[in-house]
Structure 1
Amino acid sequence: MDARARRPRVLLLTGGPLDGRSDADTELAAALRESVPGVEFTWFARWPRRGAPRRDPRVPPGRAVPVLSLDGVPRLRQHLQISVAAAVLARRVDLVHVVLAIGDAYPLCARLWSPLLAGRPVLHTVTGVRDARLLRRARPLGRTMALSSATARQLSTAGFGPVVVVPPVVRLDQWPLMPRPTGPTPKVLVTGCHGRGGGAEEAVRAAAVAARAGARFRLTLALRARPGENQRVLDDEVRALAEREGLRDVEVLGYVDDMWSLVASADVLLHVPWEPTDRTDIPLTVLEALSTGRPVILSDHPEFAALGDTVLRAPIGDARRTGHLLRQLLDRPHWWQVLSEQGRATMEERFAPERFGAQYARLYGELLGEELLS
């Protein structure tokens, strides 16, 4: 059958099942599956399923390949299953789209996958570079995409060739604009990682500056531990730091299943790592908070430049400046409202699924030598 007489077939290759533990790679791959018109996708799904399978009207026809995963967390066993299956499936599709950050496992994955994927066009969306030193041992899998100009320049310098920038996407129907919470005490939500440079200690110290300047709020920290770290011990350390800084109304959380409810209950999002520690250039929580109408304060990293004046940026590691920005934002309702509306408008204009899907449809068409139908 002529490839032009049917929908092009695209294999979405990620480090874990799309319906497993949510991260930047799987979220973006799921958005691709829902947003790019005229394509028949193959993707990896968790098995056994939790509950009865149901038809999601947003997901176009395609094929879900089962991956044995009891808890949805991508581990070595899941990586191996996906690699073996991809070697077979790559021969049955027209294009392989890899959605994967460059982390510790990437150099090895690239060496394993390159011969397995040979003979098919490959598009690789790099959702982030966790450590620039890894680029010395990394090799491109095919045509490379990035989520920000800063990462595109980094990859091009490392030998990945011309890198096209396609900003990430937020599924706006899942993150509607919400009014500001009306509770008596505002909530400041902190996201980031435990440990050196992850943003937890920086946020606590900034919050203490705001509190000493007269701001009143509840501090909620949704923090992730890195692989091999003890989440409970690290949570206790953050609570102890908050107490030493004079903060009393503090809640420390680990992994959050219902992130929408947590973001919607907050007044402000604070994300101030010394160095970008997420698997994506612009953390998904930041984009989701802006979509919901929550003002965001960020440390001033180049990767965040695409957000422009939509967010408030503070010098990296400057707890005093960050704290005073937080106090002013909490004390000025009009400023809060302006930033809330501006954040949502930016998400609709630059990070909406329709724009995202159209950009990737053009890229798919270029690689496949055909025009995709909507």
Structure 2
Amino acid sequence: MRAATAPPTAGRTAMSTKPDRTRVLLLTGGPLDGADGAAVGLASDVLAALPDVEFTWFSRWPHRRGRRPPDARGGHPVRILSRDGTPRVPERTQAVLSGAVHARRCDLVHAFLTIGRTFPAFSRLRPLLLGGRPVVHTVPGRPDPRLPARARPLGTTVVLSESMARRLRAARFGDVRVIPPMIPLEHWPSRPRPRGLPLVLYAGHHAPQGGAETAIDAAAEAAAAGSRFRLVLAMRGLPGQDQHGSKEALRERAVAQGLEDVEVRGYVDDMRALITSAHVLLFPPPTIGGVADIPLPVLQALATGRPVILSDLPQFADFGNAVLRAPAGDARRTGQQLAWLLDRLRSWDVLAERGRAAVEERFGPERFAAQYAALYRELLS
């Protein structure tokens, strides 16, 4: 789903003050050329954004058709055995053991790990596993609120939103910084409004609190108000889920709500084409837990110039008036906003312009590279 990004100018010069290239281990729970995920995506972005750093990262073996290997100039892939690239227990175990060896050969460790149920134990073993190297820990998703108090920070913690930073600081999680994720703007250019019957898109995971059910109910509200559109749900699965059963349940819900033009898809190879064809992105989950704090499809839609309707969750407050927000889990209000937006083309144009401007200002690759390069310099000085 991600295209390889050309290294930005900021990253090209940021780390070149040292005569030798800084050596950094990217510690992830699985291979970077394996299954898509927030942690893998962020690590791949750092890899591409800072070409003057000598990275070591995990690569899938044997390599099969799927995600392309990262484009790192002069870096060192370390192969781990993986059947399909999904970060299951065998992959995570290999990553921890291999990381313990390679951490001692690097100047800095950059971990991309969710604060999940096994993280507290890992955090207590940090001195044994990672030695005395400085550590940057980028947290890709929102943890169970009970876990940070039971864990220890690995080093300097980086989160994606101010709301997440406030939560971890309240849990006394040490030095917490905010570096928003990036979107490669050259690969997501702004596009004009599509013609024909509007396509309303939901992109998310098969999960009880993922928001797909609310999206269907909201679409039914808009249809009942007279709006005409096609609804597409692009659903990604997590390990162990009954994805087929979940798809059928969503289809049945749509039919029961009187929606006729509905398509439920699985993994989408060409997300850019799907978002470009969409008129509006709906992302109304009641809560976000475990997945990316700022989901990538939201940024991709805003960069493309597609208005977005979000749940009014704290992590989305930073978007300001660039998006529409409805109370979390409120399908009726979400549907009213959808009907209003589909009926007012001038408002659609205003939101499209605001969304693109917000991504350029806060989520561009130059800013992303400069912030991480500055943090690396600070910790290594």
The two structures have a TM-score, normalised by structure 1, of: 0.92
1:206-236 deviation line (CA, Å, top 9, x unaligned): 1000000011111111223444321111111
| Aligned counterpart for 2:151 among listed residues 126, 138, 147 | 138
The answer (yes or no) to whether the contact 2:211–2:286 under 8 Å persists in 1 is yes
| Aligned counterpart for 2:213 among listed residues 156, 176, 201 | 201
| Aligned counterpart for 2:234 among listed residues 206, 222, 243 | 222
Closer, same or farther in 2 for the Cα pair 1:222/1:92, shift >3 Å?
Answer: same
Alpha-carbon offset, residue 52 of structure 1: 12
| Aligned counterpart for 1:119 among listed residues 121, 132, 136 | 132
Matched, 1:160 2:169: no
Alpha-carbon offset, residue 150 of structure 1: 0.8
How do 1:277-356 and structure 2 match up within 5 A?
Answer: 277=289, 279-356=291-368
The answer (yes or no) to whether the contact 1:223–1:254 under 8 Å persists in 2 is yes
Matched, 1:13 2:27: yes
User: 1:275 maps to what in 2?
Assistant: 287
Distance in 2 (alpha carbons) for counterparts of 1:136 and 1:333? 48
- Which amino acid in 1 is paired with 2:145? A
Alpha-carbon offset, residue 166 of structure 1: 1.0
Distance in 1 (alpha carbons) for counterparts of 2:219 and 2:68? 43
The answer (yes or no) to whether the contact 2:114–2:290 under 8 Å persists in 1 is no
User: 2:6 maps to what in 1?
Assistant: none
Matched, 1:259 2:259: no
Find the residue that maps to 1:326 and give its secondary structure. Answer: helix
1:49-69 deviation line (CA, Å, top 9, x unaligned): 23699997x633211111222
Closer, same or farther in 2 for the Cα pair 1:55/1:47, shift >3 Å?
Answer: closer
The answer (yes or no) to whether the contact 1:192–1:278 under 8 Å persists in 2 is no
Q: How many residues align?
A: 365
Distance in 2 (alpha carbons) for counterparts of 1:358 and 1:326? 37
Alpha-carbon offset, residue 164 of structure 1: 1.1
Distance in 2 (alpha carbons) for counterparts of 1:109 and 1:251? 41
Distance in 1 (alpha carbons) for counterparts of 2:142 and 2:189? 30
User: 1:31 maps to what in 2?
Assistant: 45
Alpha-carbon offset, residue 114 of structure 1: 4.1
The answer (yes or no) to whether the contact 1:193–1:277 under 8 Å persists in 2 is no
Closer, same or farther in 2 for the Cα pair 1:107/1:259, shift >3 Å?
Answer: farther
Closer, same or farther in 2 for the Cα pair 1:16/1:342, shift >3 Å?
Answer: same
1:259-301 deviation line (CA, Å, top 9, x unaligned): 2222122111100010014522111111111111111100000
Find the residue that maps to 1:313 and give its secondary structure. Answer: strand
Closer, same or farther in 2 for the Cα pair 1:54/1:223, shift >3 Å?
Answer: closer
Find the residue that maps to 1:50 and give its secondary structure. Answer: coil
Find the residue that maps to 1:160 and give its secondary structure. Answer: coil
The answer (yes or no) to whether the contact 1:94–1:121 under 8 Å persists in 2 is yes
User: 1:372 maps to what in 2?
Assistant: none
The answer (yes or no) to whether the contact 2:108–2:135 under 8 Å persists in 1 is yes
Closer, same or farther in 2 for the Cα pair 1:53/1:294, shift >3 Å?
Answer: closer
Distance in 2 (alpha carbons) for counterparts of 1:195 and 1:55? 29
Alpha-carbon offset, residue 255 of structure 1: 2.3
How do 1:21-60 and structure 2 match up within 5 A?
Answer: 21-36=35-50, 38-50=52-64, 59-60=72-73
Matched, 1:90 2:103: yes
Distance in 2 (alpha carbons) for counterparts of 1:156 and 1:54? 37
Matched, 1:187 2:187: no
- Which amino acid in 2 is paired with 1:64? P
Where does structure 2 lack aligned partners over 5 or more consecutive residues? 1-16
Find the residue that maps to 2:147 and give its secondary structure. Answer: helix
Distance in 2 (alpha carbons) for counterparts of 1:130 and 1:260? 29
Where does structure 1 lack aligned partners over 5 or more consecutive residues? 370-374
Distance in 2 (alpha carbons) for counterparts of 1:11 and 1:117? 10
The answer (yes or no) to whether the contact 2:149–2:172 under 8 Å persists in 1 is no
CA RMSD between the two structures: 2.0
- Which amino acid in 2 is paired with 1:348? E
The answer (yes or no) to whether the contact 1:103–1:130 under 8 Å persists in 2 is yes
Matched, 1:178 2:191: yes
106-115 vs 121-130, greater mean Cα deviation: 106-115
The two structures have a TM-score, normalised by structure 2, of: 0.91
The answer (yes or no) to whether the contact 1:33–1:60 under 8 Å persists in 2 is no
Find the residue that maps to 2:123 and give its secondary structure. Answer: helix
Closer, same or farther in 2 for the Cα pair 1:176/1:134, shift >3 Å?
Answer: same
The answer (yes or no) to whether the contact 2:34–2:66 under 8 Å persists in 1 is no
Matched, 1:80 2:93: yes
Identity %: 55
The answer (yes or no) to whether the contact 1:189–1:266 under 8 Å persists in 2 is yes
Distance in 2 (alpha carbons) for counterparts of 1:214 and 1:223? 26
